[in-house]
Amino acid sequence: MDEKIAQIIRGAGLRYTPGRAALLDVLMDALSPLTQEEISLRLRDIGLNRVTIYRALESFLEAGLVHRIDNGDRLWKFAYCGCGSRKHCHPHFVCRSCGKVECLVNIALPKIPNMRPGYCVEEREFYLRGLCDNCSPK
């Protein structure tokens, strides 16, 4: 068992299971957010079924270990986030050509000044769309 992964899972208030550990490992290794399909493929060898993966993802989302990103075609992508916030803590870039989604972890979310009085913002997601470095004309 990977101690670090076990610590992260328990630190988020979740029970450690080998399935959750394998899922977190995949998400932490991923260079960009993954769809559930991509996650399933990577976990096929250890025999985790879709329902187990779905439930583990749900518990990670609730615990704030993972956030999900709408890549524009109604497909959720999931990414590990170590910031501990249950909300989106960074903007996301979506490439309209190859569909790549990237967490822009080094860019702060813009502040929203002059919010209407009496309004309480509970969620904010910030998407930048365009062409990634592979797809933009050189």
Binding site for Zn ion (CB under 5 A): 79, 95, 97-98, 100, 103, 132, 134-135
Nearer to Zn ion, 21 or 104 (CB): 104
Nearest approach, Cβ of residue 133 and Zn ion (Å) = 8
Nearest approach, Cβ of residue 83 and Zn ion (Å) = 9
Nearer to Zn ion, 7 or 136 (CB): 136
Number of CB atoms found within 10 A of residue 19's CB: 17
Nearest approach, Cβ of residue 129 and Zn ion (Å) = 11
**Which are the contacts of 113, defined by CB distance < 8 A and separation ≥ 6?**
none
Nearest approach, Cβ of residue 96 and Zn ion (Å) = 8
Measured CA to CA, the distance from residue 8 to residue 42 in angstroms comes to 20
Measured CA to CA, the distance from residue 1 to residue 3 in angstroms comes to 6
**Which are the contacts of 137, defined by CB distance < 8 A and separation ≥ 6?**
none
Nearest approach, Cβ of residue 108 and Zn ion (Å) = 13
Nearer to Zn ion, 37 or 125 (CB): 125
Element (H, E) at 41: helix 36-43
Nearer to Zn ion, 17 or 134 (CB): 134
Measured CA to CA, the distance from residue 47 to residue 131 in angstroms comes to 36
Nearer to Zn ion, 42 or 100 (CB): 100
Indicate the residue whose CB is closest to Zn ion. 103
